[in-house]
């Protein structure tokens, strides 16, 4: 007996569902939506690209890693902290670095037919509550399975410590990180 309303236990390699409870019930995804953001954007973004944060990135609600406005971060650093700390500031920064939230949300849905995660509707990159934003335990298992097959995704979700993130922070907004 698992004391949650919905869950899926799947074999990673073949993807076979071993056990489940309410696998297709749509529920607000919260921060687990960040797995979809990581999967969708890691395929599209250069991990070595540098992004300069904006006020909108650092002023998001919810969990944050502490990005500093007008500071530079690599896309790889943003992915790491998106997964390690569930940073909504990192989700915002990645979406903006990718071309904006609207484009990013469209890309989150783009591959659903191939993956068959039909229960998921994303409205933002972080999983913060939004009207109509839902996912299911089944879809999250599909997303995780595809992601864990990618070396970059596997690194992002399995890194436990990042020695220099957020790194040596600038003393003034706009100054480079050293």
Q: Which residues are catalytic?
A: 31, 34, 86
Grouping H, G, I as helix, E, B as strand and the rest as coil, residue 96 is: helix
Token pair 């006020």 is at which residue? 55
* DSSP designation for 23: T
* DSSP designation for 159: -
The 3-state DSSP composition of the chain as helix, strand, coil percent (nearest 5) reads: 40, 10, 50
What span, in angstroms and rounded, lies between the C-alpha atoms of 33 and 41? 12
- E-strand ranges in 22-169 read 50-52, 72-74
Grouping H, G, I as helix, E, B as strand and the rest as coil, residue 144 is: helix
Write the CA distances from 177 to 59, 73, 103, integer angstroms: 19, 8, 28
């Amino acid at each position: 007996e698992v004391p949650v309303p919905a869950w899926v236990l799947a074999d990673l390699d073949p993807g076979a569902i071993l056990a489940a409870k309410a696998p297709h019930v749509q529920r607000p995804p919260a921060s687990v939506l960040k797995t979809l953001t990581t999967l969708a954007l890691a395929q599209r973004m250069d991990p070595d690209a540098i992004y300069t944060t904006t006020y909108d990135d650092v002023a998001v609600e919810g969990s944050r890693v502490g990005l500093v406005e007008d500071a530079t971060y690599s896309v790889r650093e943003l992915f790491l902290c998106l997964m390690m700390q569930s940073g909504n500031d990192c989700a915002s920064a990645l979406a903006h670095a990718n071309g904006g939230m609207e484009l990013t949300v469209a890309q989150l849905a783009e591959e659903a037919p191939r993956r068959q995660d039909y229960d998921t509707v994303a409205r933002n990159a972080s999983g913060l509550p939004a009207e109509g934003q839902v996912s299911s335990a089944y879809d999250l298992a599909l997303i995780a399975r595809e992601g864990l097959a990618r070396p970059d995704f596997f690194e992002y979700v399995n890194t436990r410590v990042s020695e220099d993130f957020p790194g040596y922070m600038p003393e003034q907004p706009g100054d480079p990180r050293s």
